[in-house]
Chain A
């Protein structure tokens, strides 16, 4: 079952092409990450499927149906910023959201507990901190226990504990069978939380698939290498020794440590032993797992896109 399918979606703002023929499908019960640098078109994409922006071309469908208001009532959405009436309390704001969604008020207490705002429910929204506003928005999305949730940068403005809580919440929602569509520019977040990922850059879809597939499907030059970070008291001597080690392909001095690219069969332990045997004691040794970050940079290039 496909929850959301977008077909050749395009959006132009005058001369700027914010989205260009983007197509993908979100399978049911996944955590689907939409990953891209700032200004890559993530929010534009979500804005279109929630009918606050008009597409310049292409179509989208929720659960196989053309988008409509009745469907939106059953989707919990946080788009871009927490949008609430500043002069109303958190609880009163949720009452309005619940009424629009056609839900009763019985959920309000529950979601306020989940997002840890119960004690401040009677305070005006304008007095909330950035993190509290964000949590209220997540709470609003949870009203009515929807099967589909759309979160645009859900951990924006949260402190580290709050970030961890929200990530855990997203995983738990997914375990309970919810489908979550999540836009983020934070690679680590997508890697930790998502099962599927679509990477977009400058409005163009670069790749899409399960996180496992996207990471496995690497470029040819980096396919069979291991990246190890290490340093010692005397980096120059360390470089000389490493150059003699079989399997070492490339050595780069990065900041205050060395980044060593080795062939696939080399492990960190082997490197450690080799250095020790040659009289160098390592002060740092870190085998870098191939991360989504590396993959992301391979796909999008290393310079920040304007």
Chain B
């Protein structure tokens, strides 16, 4: 696998889109969190109701959660990059040439999955460091409480990445793949909101508390684990919200990951290239 990764690195290191998207992502994580920090300080804290108890999202305990949640929104970048890298191979027909030159099909798709994992790990390390730095600057004392959210961030990252791999293998063309990624994510979010509304309604009518059904969809499962950080407004609304079946959402998120992995692998190994 190390040799395969070195070959991938030869493909990546001179690719401008890779450098640009990687830099955008790194700056994006820092910038997003900085903006959230500023908004909280300049806007939210100025509104007396929200600030009933002094609320600082980047203090320890909170910082792991806030940073993970805020950074989640730019996970589309590494996913997009992966989709571009894989569809490029189709475009250049190098996916054929790599096989002809002596990779097995399993190796070809396997190393792309490994890239998906590495991108997710690097993003997670970056989020960890960002959370740590913001936390240390908050002047509160260090704590690992809430670190699970960084784990959820990783799960979300790897889910997005493997989904991008699957889309790339299925549609093969760059523009089309990116279009599908955006449209699917938008579409799933929309349906997820509808299901969320339905879940609340079912509970309020006393019929059933099925949890937030919006979280049961492929990408929203990983999303759903990484909830909006606790605040006063959210605590107040707890009574009307459906029950939180975290274990179920977690199991589904893992299940979808496995599905993406095997579907994409099978597709590449079995079909004409």
A-side residues, CB < 8 A to B, are 47, 50-54, 69-70, 72-73, 77, 79-81, 83-88, 92, 95-97, 99-102, 140
- Check if B7 is an interface residue, CB within 8 A of chain A: yes
- CB B268 to nearest CB in A, in angstroms, measures 11
Q: Which 9 A-B pairs have the closest CB atoms?
A: A73-B102, A83-B97, A83-B93, A100-B101, A52-B273, A72-B102, A69-B104, A52-B96, A77-B100
- Assembly CA distance A200 to B151 (angstroms): 59
27 A/B residue pairs, CB under 8 Å, sorted by A: A47-B272, A50-B100, A51-B105, A52-B99, A52-B100, A54-B270, A54-B272, A69-B102, A69-B103, A70-B102, A73-B101, A73-B102, A77-B101, A79-B96, A81-B93, A83-B94, A84-B94, A84-B97, A85-B92, A85-B94, A97-B97, A97-B101, A99-B10, A100-B98, A100-B103, A101-B101, A140-B101
- CB B83 to nearest CB in A, in angstroms, measures 17
Interface string of B6-38 (1 = CB under 8 A from A): 110011001110000000000000000000000
B99–A51 contact, CB under 8 A?
yes
- Assembly CA distance A97 to B159 (angstroms): 31
* Chain B residues closer than 8 Å to A73, beta-carbon distance: 101-102
- Assembly CA distance A95 to B271 (angstroms): 28
Most buried by A among B3, B7, B102: B102
Q: In the complex, which of the residues B3, B15, B99 contacts A99, with contact meaning CB atoms closer than 8 Å?
A: B3
- Assembly CA distance A124 to B177 (angstroms): 26
- A96-B10 in contact given A50-B100, A52-B96 (Cβ < 8 Å): yes
19 new A-B contacts at CB < 8 Å, known A54-B272, A69-B107, A86-B92:
A47-B272, A52-B96, A52-B100, A53-B273, A54-B271, A69-B103, A72-B102, A77-B101, A79-B100, A80-B93, A81-B93, A83-B92, A83-B96, A83-B97, A100-B7, A100-B98, A100-B101, A101-B101, A140-B101
Most buried by B among A52, A70, A77, A97: A52
Q: Identify the closest chain B residue to A73 (Cβ).
A: B102
Interface string of B239-273 (1 = CB under 8 A from A): 00000000000000000000000000000001111
- Assembly CA distance A52 to B102 (angstroms): 11
B270–A99 contact, CB under 8 A?
no
* Chain A residues closer than 8 Å to B10, beta-carbon distance: 92, 95-96, 99
Q: Identify the closest chain B residue to A86 (Cβ).
A: B92
- Assembly CA distance A53 to B99 (angstroms): 11
- CB B151 to nearest CB in A, in angstroms, measures 35
- Assembly CA distance A14 to B176 (angstroms): 24
- Assembly CA distance A69 to B11 (angstroms): 21
* Chain A residues closer than 8 Å to B7, beta-carbon distance: 96, 99-100
Q: Which of B83-115 contact A (CB under 8 A)?
A: 88, 92-94, 96-105, 107
- CB B252 to nearest CB in A, in angstroms, measures 33
- Assembly CA distance A102 to B98 (angstroms): 12
* Chain B residues closer than 8 Å to A52, beta-carbon distance: 96, 99-100, 272-273
Q: Identify the closest chain B residue to A74 (Cβ).
A: B102
* Chain A residues closer than 8 Å to B15, beta-carbon distance: 87
A96–B11 contact, CB under 8 A?
yes
B94–A72 contact, CB under 8 A?
no
B11–A99 contact, CB under 8 A?
no
* Chain B residues closer than 8 Å to A72, beta-carbon distance: 99-102
- Assembly CA distance A54 to B269 (angstroms): 10
- Assembly CA distance A84 to B96 (angstroms): 10
- A53-B100 in contact given A85-B92, A99-B7 (Cβ < 8 Å): no
- CB B14 to nearest CB in A, in angstroms, measures 6
* Chain B residues closer than 8 Å to A70, beta-carbon distance: 102
Q: Which of B200-252 contact A (CB under 8 A)?
A: none
- Assembly CA distance A92 to B94 (angstroms): 14
